[in-house]
Structure 1
Amino acid sequence: MTTILTVVGARPQFIKAAAVSRAIRARDSMSEIMVHTGQHFDANMSDVFFDELEIAPPTHHLGIGGGGHGRMTGRMLEGIEEILEAGRPDWVLIYGDTNSTIAGALAAAKLHIPVAHVEAGLRSFNKRMPEEINRVLTDHVSTLLFCPTQAAVGNLAKEGVTTGVHHVGDVMYDATLNARAKARETSDIVGQLRLEPGKYVLSTVHRAENTESRESLESVLDYLKAKAVGMPVVLPLHPRTSAAAKKHGLDFDSLTVIDPVGYLDMMALLDGCAEVLTDSGGVQKEAYFHRKPCTTLRKETEWVETIEAGWNRLWKGTDFKSPRTNIADYGDGKSAEQILNLIEMAR
């Protein structure tokens, strides 16, 4: 029996873990221990995802949310290390690029427990982003590196990382295929907000680069407000963005601001919108999965293939490429199965 300890803490990780956890449950040869760091502590950004995605409640909940990057990561590292020392799993499975990711990777590596990194090899090449530091360090201590694209494989090769690297496609695509039909059956959020399908814009804003200064946040909000002149702009408000706006004395006038939503409601909003404006890496991809044009509210993106395929563009100064094409790299919705097959083969 292969025991996998999974570390999650933020919305995109819950979504990816749901697809892999579902595949683990279907195998008699594997078991899973789920550790939730608590990085996303708002119930609408955490608990609701476990319910809607049918993920078993976490075995361990560390309750570590808020605070600076160093303090948060250090507390997570300490908590995860204690769990690993007590249980000694065969693998530690981590996702993405958050503080939870790097804490899980470092705790496992220091105890000589092999690390499997889902979504390895992504690079923005902007080291001012905390996420970029997390990605690079995590990849360099991982044993198995599961890349969503060939570009990610190439990024790792340029850094000298070639052993244990596999292109498996995108587990978020697995999750989207599973959830989209369910969302169409169960979510009424578009109707509740009195929106007309195809005639509203969906936006998300949460990155530090867009919220840490008054100037940066005001610039983003001005752009969204200009968009709202033509059609409603729906903004599920991230706690970080709400706090930053209050701190800087900024308002959300003319925007349709709502509380953070669950996964199925987010799928419904993506399904019904005309376009997406976001600084989230995960939402950029989800926009593509729903075949919605997306403007990334940043100077760069890790998902360069979405720009090359004409579905995405960078904010300020770029336009959509044409014609739009499909992205084969993301796979066929069976990435979770490939990941587990490779973990079993690596024993």
Structure 2
Amino acid sequence: MMVESRKIAVFTSARSEYGSFRGMLEAIEQHPGLELCLFVSGTHLAEQDGYTISEIEDDGFEVTARIPMFDGDRSSEGYARALGREWLGLVDAVSEHRPDIILINGDRGELLPVASVALTLGIPVAHIAGGEITEGAIDDSVRHAVSKLSHLHFVTNDLHARRLCQLGEESWRIVISGEPALDSISKMTLLTKSELEESLEIKLNDPIVLVTYHPETLGEAGLAELEATLEAMVSVDATYVITYPNADPGSEPILERLKRFAGENEQAMLVSSLGQVRYYSMLACCAAMLGNSSSGLWEAPTFRLPVVNLGGRQAGRLRAGNVIDISDVSAQAVRRGLEQAISQEFNKSLECLANPYGNGHAVDKIISVLESVPLDIRLLRKKFVNTCDE
């Protein structure tokens, strides 16, 4: 008797989380017992963010449903309205395609409508990267809320598994898989420096610094922190490749300032999206990363790449020895951090660095659960496990 394949819906709304998902999408497509259902939303559909759905389609993936969100308003009110549009679109997409499991990743606000709609329609949610902490962003609350709305948890390490237990999650629902983005790195053919130069149409003079700066959604840094960072960048001779900020509230003034900086400084270039291959190739070629992106903590350790982490956006998140934290951001402090990061002494200290987020074998562990977990009432009916002393 032929066994019906399981339909796994994967939701992606941003370039960063798609990079983490890419190897997973390939594995689901290639699995004889699984069927991929791909929901695309968020900045993937926004022209101002590079319309990165084209990268997804160029990679050969068929988009099952496009779920519009943004209308150009990147204020807090605009983002809240965008979540409402996403919610309505998801109801239609999920109702039409009726996946067996919905797979989501990370901590962006766009995950709240996904988990809520799935819960309402009786569809189990599998969540990657729960149990982490980022005290400087609303993502922290989103992540924990999504964990409570999810039925399966794929975490990066034992520390994050224990945190989910503290949230009352049953241990059988938690799998220590590692971060799936690291699987892609180990299998990808990266571009050489000269190929990167040709692709970006720029001369990449050493040292190269990759810069990614996002809004700090639970803080008061504003543009002052960014101004101090740009002042430091001018004082340290390097080639600066700057990527667009994400779509969080507060991103518009950051983007406008970065555009002016890149226009005024020959050693800087601004790109809306590098795409996964160019991004990881840049991590392999550059001397340091600068900014407040989670990529500096997740993926950069695999490349033994020094990271100057700015402000409080990643406060509380597990980090390896490649991270130089600048909590009180000033031009002088950032300059010192950059000089330390590109120094031979600091780079030598990273020769035996291990990535605390995994070893590149996450996808197989996740697929094994998705293909075999019983889709029954036990999966949907969650119990709270009290780990506190009575």
TM-score, with normalisation over the residues of structure 2?
Answer: 0.77
Shift of residue 48, structure 1, vs aligned partner? 4.7
Q: Hey, what's the Cα distance between the residues in 2 that align with 1:303 and 1:6?
A: 28
Distance in 2 (alpha carbons) for counterparts of 1:263 and 1:275: 18
The CA distance in 2 between the partners of 1:133 and 1:204, in whole Å, is 22
Q: 1:133 aligned to 2:141?
A: yes
- Separation in 2 of the partners of 1:336 and 1:16? 10
Matched, 1:63 2:75: no
Paired residue secondary structure (1:295): strand
Match of 1:36 in 2: 40
More contact order relative to length (CA 8 Å, sep ≥ 6): 2
Residue 289 of structure 1 is matched in structure 2 by 302
- The equivalent position to 1:93 in structure 2, one of 97, 103, 108, is 103
Picking from 342, 365, 381, the partner of 1:338 is: 365
Partner-residue secondary structure (3-state), 2:203? coil
Residue 324 (structure 2) aligns with: 313
Structure 2 partner of 1:259: 271
% identity of equivalent residues: 20
Change (3 A) 1:176 1:22: same
**CA displacement 1:236-263 (0-9 Å, x = unmatched):** 2337577304778994244613222222
Following superposition, the deviation at residue 74 of structure 1 comes to 1.7
Matched, 1:111 2:121: yes
**RMSD of aligned residue pairs (Cα, Å):** 3.0
Q: 1:220: Cα distance to partner? A: 1.9
- The C-alpha deviation readout for 1:244-288, integer Å capped at 9, x for no partner, is 047789942446132222222222222211110121113432222
- d(CA) in 2 for partners of 1:149, 1:343: 19
CA distance in 1, matches of 2:182, 2:246: 26
Report the alpha carbon displacement of residue 56 of structure 1 after superposing the two structures with TM. Answer: 0.5
Task: Give how far 1:61 is off.
Answer: 0.8
Q: Does 2:202 correspond to 1:183?
A: no
2:241 and 2:156 map into 1 onto residues whose CA distance is 29
- Match runs of 1:135-284 below 5 Å: 135-163=143-171, 164-179=173-188, 181-184=189-192, 187-188=196-197, 192-197=201-206, 199-209=207-217, 216-232=222-238, 233-238=240-245, 243-245=252-254, 251-252=260-261, 253-254=264-265, 256-260=268-272, 261-284=274-297
Report the 3-state secondary structure (helix = DSSP H, G, I; strand = E; otherwise coil) of the residue aligned with 2:371: helix
CA gap of 1:246–1:141, structure 2 versus 1, over 3 A, is: closer
> Matched residues in 1 for 2:258 and 2:23: separation?
40
Cα deviation 1:172-197 (Å, max 9, x = unaligned): 10122233x24339543587321124
Runs of 5+ unmatched residues, structure 2: 375-390
Q: Is the 8 A contact 1:97 1:132 kept in 2?
A: yes
Compare CA radii of gyration and give the structure with the larger one.
Answer: 2
Measured after TM superposition, the shift of residue 72 of structure 1 is 1.5
Task: Give the Cα–Cα distance (whole angstroms) in 2 for the partners of residues 63 and 236 of structure 1.
Answer: 23
> Deviations 1:96-121 (Å, cap 9, x if unpaired)?
11132222111101111100001121
Contact 1:203 1:234 in 2 (8 A): yes
Q: 1:82 aligns with which of 68, 73, 92?
A: 92
Letter in 2 for 1:231: D
Distance 1:144 1:244, change over 3 A: same
- Equivalent residue letter for 1:168: S
Contact 2:215 2:245 in 1 (8 A): no
- Which runs of 5 or more structure 1 residues have no equivalent in the other structure? none
| 1:30 CA displacement | 0.3
Deviation at 1:337, TM superposition (A): 1.1
- Distance in 1 (CA, whole Å) between partners of 2:8 and 2:318 is 31
Give the superposition deviation at 1:168. 0.3
The answer to whether the 8 Å contact 1:190/1:272 transfers is no
